[in-house]
Structure 1
Amino acid sequence: MCKQDYVFRGLGVTLSGRGRIPEAESPDRHPLIIAIHGGTYSSRYFDVAGHSLLDRAQAQQLPIFAIDRPGYGLSADYAANAPSIMDNAEILDSAIHGLWHSYSHKACGIVLVGHSIGGAITIAIAARQPSWPLLGIAISGVGLDPVPASKDKWNQVPAEQALVSVPPEAMDGFFFGPPGTYEQGVMPQASYGASAPAPRSELIDIGMHWPKQVGRLAAQVKVPVHYRQPEFEQLWPVDEATIQRFADAFVNCPEMDAALFRDAGHCIDFHRSGEAFQLQQLAFAKRCAARA
């Protein structure tokens, strides 16, 4: 399996990222997985040692890429353009189109994995009904309307400040569950290397505009959806009824697998139960491929 950094291009924007490509093609039908990170994290979110979705996909001989979204990595300067969730969706749709047609593979289609703001962007991409073969989406850490405390704080950032740098330790209380749900002495410190400055515009957008958009976008998703919301979520209201209301918004998706995920905070991947969560996502991706 090839492990390296990659460059992608979408609508003239150069995007960085990382991935794993199988050295030999599997005889089975398999998906190409593309992971889309959330705010204040780079694509490395999916590649933290011991908690890496890329490594777990590699173990199953599944090709996978994680892309640095507009305003991150090589495209950090793009933050000055104040990219929104919909801008992200348009640019990434184009970048994934190029990847699909340039990557030498036998994958039967693409499954998107999106976390937090990346989950919102994943929904927006699926709502575009892209020209490349989208098989399904797996999303987490996103909902109908964030809790007031998680969106009001970004309004205090000056409008002329394109990028917001947040000390990772300042976000631990929002991103992690209580002690015992993650490995003490390892997390959250191991996650700090995946932290990155975030475009102010997307942090404002997820609180101000997303609640008005999500119903319309969810109704346009026509592929299977895997949705997990963590028990100790601090950024979004979470209970069984709220999860069901979110799931019900996807009125045209052929299959919805929505559930509360126990023993984890917002960044499920970094918790003790993160392996089980990622294996669920990979199993979902393989089911989507088997039905293609």
Structure 2
Amino acid sequence: MLSTATHRFAHGVTSAGAARGMVFTGLRRTSGDTHDVPLIVALHGGGYTSAYFDVPGYSLLDRAAGAGVPVIAVDRPGYGGSTPVPLGDSPYLANAATVDHLIGELWQTHGAGTAGIVLVGHSIGAQVALAIAGGRPRWPLLGLSVSGCLLRHGDGFAETWAAAPGTYLDVSVEEKAELMFGPEWTRRDDMPRASFFANVPVLTAELTGGAGWEKSFRDLAPEITVPVQLRHGRFDPLWGDADDQIPEFVAELESSPWIDAAAVPAAGHAIDYHRVGAAFHAQQLAFALTCAAQTISGP
């Protein structure tokens, strides 16, 4: 029997490591029968909380529950009720070090019966997920499904973000919608308004740290040894030309056993919130279930 409710959780990390003593919050949807399925851990992007994955009508948690797949959506450090961390020169590596320890504990408490963990990451959450995988975690990582993340940002964004004042940047809902969404025909009438409740100010350091992402990714990518799924919205203004960057991205993942990468023609940065969101989630869930099945059945 599937759980019909999403539960908020708070988890204090007790194990030794970078995250010890930290508190993390997020959303959890369980499944009555976890046999042969993965546990999905979802990492949101900048300027959102874990609620990104549970917008009514566009909820990955709802769709995963329908497929019998348990999901934990984590509030990354500094978002929701999760403890902030010093981000330094690389916010992705700083996030990865702490979230890695959190996931290790979540696996011990919520992973029973599942085949292992599939990380889902959007935008900065995708960069964090890739950094975690590149560090080869001790818990059983089965695969990565990432979106809204390539190698290089579009022209002008680095300069704009470098001039942003303060610890957090509070972007208006209108400005944010221009960055997150494709043309009006790519979304239903309730968007972008339906997603506004998930908006929060973005950590400025996560934006300014983007300048070093390409080098970090090229260093991390050869260490990623699990399957990778990449989806990127054709109308995403935050990154450069997908037709050029997707092949480059894939080429760096030389140790991954298989890669499923494609541009999504009718979507912007937040693919989840477009008309194709249901199809996108179905692809993510199919990928996660395939990763679990291959682990169970062998190479």
TM-score range, shorter chain: over 0.9
Counterpart in 1 of 2:16? Answer: none
Tell whether the 8 Å contact from 2:87 to 2:94 is kept in structure 1 after alignment: no
Task: Give the count of matched residue pairs.
Answer: 284
**1:234-277 CA distance string (max 9 Å, x none):** 00113323211111110111101111111000000000001000
Q: Distance in 2 between matches of 1:63 and 1:26?
A: 7
Q: Helix, strand or coil for the counterpart of 1:287?
A: helix
Q: Is 1:175–2:180 an aligned residue pair?
A: yes
Q: Helix, strand or coil for the counterpart of 1:260?
A: strand
4+ residue runs over 6 A deviation: none
Q: Is 1:39–2:46 an aligned residue pair?
A: yes
Tell whether the 8 Å contact from 1:31 to 1:108 is kept in structure 2 after alignment: yes
Q: How does 1:90-169 map to 2 (within 5 A)?
A: 90-103=97-110, 105-158=112-165, 161-169=166-174
Counterpart in 2 of 1:71? Answer: 78
Q: Is 1:6–2:15 an aligned residue pair?
A: no
Q: Which amino acid aligns with 1:88?
A: N
Q: Helix, strand or coil for the counterpart of 1:118?
A: helix
Q: Distance in 2 between matches of 1:222 and 1:287?
A: 16
Q: Distance in 2 between matches of 1:203 and 1:48?
A: 24
Counterpart in 2 of 1:200? Answer: 204
Tell whether the 8 Å contact from 1:30 to 1:107 is kept in structure 2 after alignment: yes
Tell whether the 8 Å contact from 2:117 to 2:143 is kept in structure 1 after alignment: yes
Tell whether the 8 Å contact from 1:113 to 1:138 is kept in structure 2 after alignment: yes
Q: 2:30 aligns with which of 12, 21, 27?
A: 21
Say which structure is richer in strand.
1
Deviation (angstroms), 1:187? 0.3
Tell whether the 8 Å contact from 2:87 to 2:95 is kept in structure 1 after alignment: no
Q: Helix, strand or coil for the counterpart of 2:81?
A: helix
Distance 1:224 1:117, change over 3 A: same
Tell whether the 8 Å contact from 1:35 to 1:113 is kept in structure 2 after alignment: yes
Structure 1 stretches lacking a partner, 5+ long: none
When the two chains are superposed, the root-mean-square deviation of aligned CA atoms in Å is 1.3
Deviation (angstroms), 1:105? 2.4
Deviation (angstroms), 1:203? 1.1
Q: Helix, strand or coil for the counterpart of 1:183?
A: coil
Q: Is 1:270–2:278 an aligned residue pair?
A: no
Q: Is 1:52–2:37 an aligned residue pair?
A: no
**1:51-98 CA distance string (max 9 Å, x none):** 00000001111110100000101136x26x346111100110000000
TM-score computed with the length of structure 1 as normaliser: 0.94
Q: How many percent of aligned residue pairs carry the same amino acid?
A: 39
